[in-house]
Amino acid sequence: TKRRRSRSASPASLSLPSTHKLAFSATASTAGPSPAFQQPTQLISFSYTPEREFELTDSALRYLVQPPRNAQLAHAYDRWERRPERRSRIDGLLRALSAARAKRHPALASGVGVVAWRGVMTRILTSPYEEREGWDLNVMCVDGVLYFEEHLSDARLREKNDIEPRHRLQTYFGYAFESYCTSHTPGGANVPQNPGDPPGWGGDVDTNVQWCSVVRTKLGDTRMVIGGEVDCVREKYTGATDTFVELKTSLVIRGPHDEVKFEKRLLKFYMQSFLLGVPEILVGFRTPAGQVSTTQVFKTVEIPRLVRGKLHAWDPTTCLRWGNAFLGFLQAQLKGQPERDVWRVRFTPGMGVELRALDAVEVEDVVAGEERVGFL
């Protein structure tokens, strides 16, 4: 039976037993070897169509092509098919996982400890270095498996939907870069569809369309199934992660200040690609107005070395150690708890995380009237 707490109850953190908190200091003091991270292997892939329908195909897979010189990233901004910001569940990931199970994928023989989108795992693992943005997760533990979903408060959702025009354009620059750098056919040069399209334009941006890979990996003793969007593959699709390429845009580096900013950002680039086994990141450096001036390929494994020893350095070992402690903490706390319960993890920058059970009213908010057990 669930306790009903009134929504105006004082912040739960004040009344929480300290066992419901995990502070960074708890992992900083246990320096030592890094927990092992297993090379991810792909279980299955899937696509979202322009109608945002899930399908177990590679219809949205794209191949890397050389972008034209000085590509203009503001091109066709007015034709962007924008996916509305909604709370995103893990339904697509679970459907893909079920399909992989039905095919008796050998990598699933040994059970799973965590199921999550890659973006969520990136947030968790980079949090020791996160200075500004907190986050909330919804967590369920069913049959020993932890399921994570991002929790966006109403306020955060509104914020995401009313981002400043300037910021929205910058986001678009990233998608336009993907259009120039990818093609539907391997080795195919992009042939513009509309009069007025520049050479090399790969088609108007539709952010409903995504190709996703679901991989299996392991951090410490925890086996994980992680799903994430993959921008394109280099030359051919092998069914493995070894040809995956991540595309990024970043402002041209004009001085030491920009360099520091970029090198801090590299942690997110690194962790995001590392978690899915993506070996290469192609960065388009652009002007503030959105013209690509240079491109550079970064090998994911080599990125940590680029920042090592610097004042603003980050260390992936710290992230892995934290991630391992975080998963161990949740496993210990949720073991033996009712499986229908939904838990909330809140991360506060510089501090760590707090865990609490949601009450029935809060769970209703999470489920949002859909027929689900918790968010599953």
> By the criterion CB under 5 A, which residues form the site for Ca ion?
231, 247
Q: Are 219 and 35 in contact, with CB atoms under 8 Å apart?
A: yes
List 59, 80, 95, 119, residue binding ligand 0WD (CB under 6 A): 119
In 3D space, the residue among 41, 59, 58, 56 whose CA is nearest the CA of residue 105 turns out to be 41
Q: How far is the CB of 298 from Ca ion (least distance, A)?
A: 13
Task: State the Cα–Cα distance between residues 208 and 230, nearest whole angstrom.
Answer: 14
Q: Are 46 and 96 in contact, with CB atoms under 8 Å apart?
A: yes
| Cβ distance to Ca ion smaller for residue 246 or 359 | 246
List 170, 207, 317, 331, residue binding ligand 0WD (CB under 6 A): 207
| Cβ distance to ligand 0WD smaller for residue 150 or 354 | 150
324 sits near ligand 0WD (criterion: CB under 6 A): no
Q: How far is the CB of 241 from ligand 0WD (least distance, A)?
A: 13
Contacts of 184 (CB under 8 A, 6+ apart): 62, 63
Task: State the Cα–Cα distance between residues 142 and 254, nearest whole angstrom.
Answer: 50
Q: How far is the CB of 198 from Ca ion (least distance, A)?
A: 21
**Residue 229 contact, options ligand 0WD, Ca ion, none, Cβ 5-8 Å cut-off depending on partner type:** ligand 0WD
| Cβ distance to ligand 0WD smaller for residue 5 or 265 | 265
| Cβ distance to ligand 0WD smaller for residue 275 or 357 | 275
Residue of minimal Cβ distance to ligand 0WD:
119
Stretch in the footprint of ligand 0WD (CB under 6 A) among 16-24, 83-91, 137-145, 182-190? 83-91
Task: State the Cα–Cα distance between residues 101 and 270, nearest whole angstrom.
Answer: 29
* # chain residues binding ligand 0WD, by CB under 6 A: 18
Task: State the Cα–Cα distance between residues 103 and 93, nearest whole angstrom.
Answer: 15
**Where in 136-165 is the site for ligand 0WD (CB under 6 A)?**
150
Number of H-type helices and E-type strands within the chain: 10, 16
Q: How far is the CB of 126 from ligand 0WD (least distance, A)?
A: 11
DSSP character for 321? H
Stretch in the footprint of ligand 0WD (CB under 6 A) among 33-41, 72-80, 227-235, 305-313? 227-235
**Total Cβ atoms within 10 A of residue 83:** 14
Q: DSSP 3-state helix, strand, coil percentages of the chain (rounded to 5)?
A: 35, 25, 40
Q: How far is the CB of 3 from ligand 0WD (least distance, A)?
A: 30
List 42, 45, 210, 324, residue binding ligand 0WD (CB under 6 A): 210
**Residue 83 contact, options Ca ion, ligand 0WD, none, Cβ 5-8 Å cut-off depending on partner type:** ligand 0WD
Enter the tokens of residue 198.
């520049």
Q: Are 214 and 100 in contact, with CB atoms under 8 Å apart?
A: yes
**Which burial class, exposed, middle or buried, applies to 107 when counting CB atoms under 10 A from its CB (0-12, 13-18, 19+)?**
middle
| Cβ distance to Ca ion smaller for residue 217 or 272 | 272
**Residue 118 contact, options ligand 0WD, Ca ion, none, Cβ 5-8 Å cut-off depending on partner type:** ligand 0WD
Report helix, strand or coil for 308.
coil
In 3D space, the residue among 333, 323, 328, 330 whose CA is nearest the CA of residue 24 turns out to be 323
Backbone angles phi, psi at 248, to 5 degrees: -140, 155
88 sits near ligand 0WD (criterion: CB under 6 A): yes
- List interacting residues with ligand 0WD (CB under 6 A): 83, 85-86, 88, 117-119, 122, 150, 174, 207, 210, 212, 227-229, 248, 272
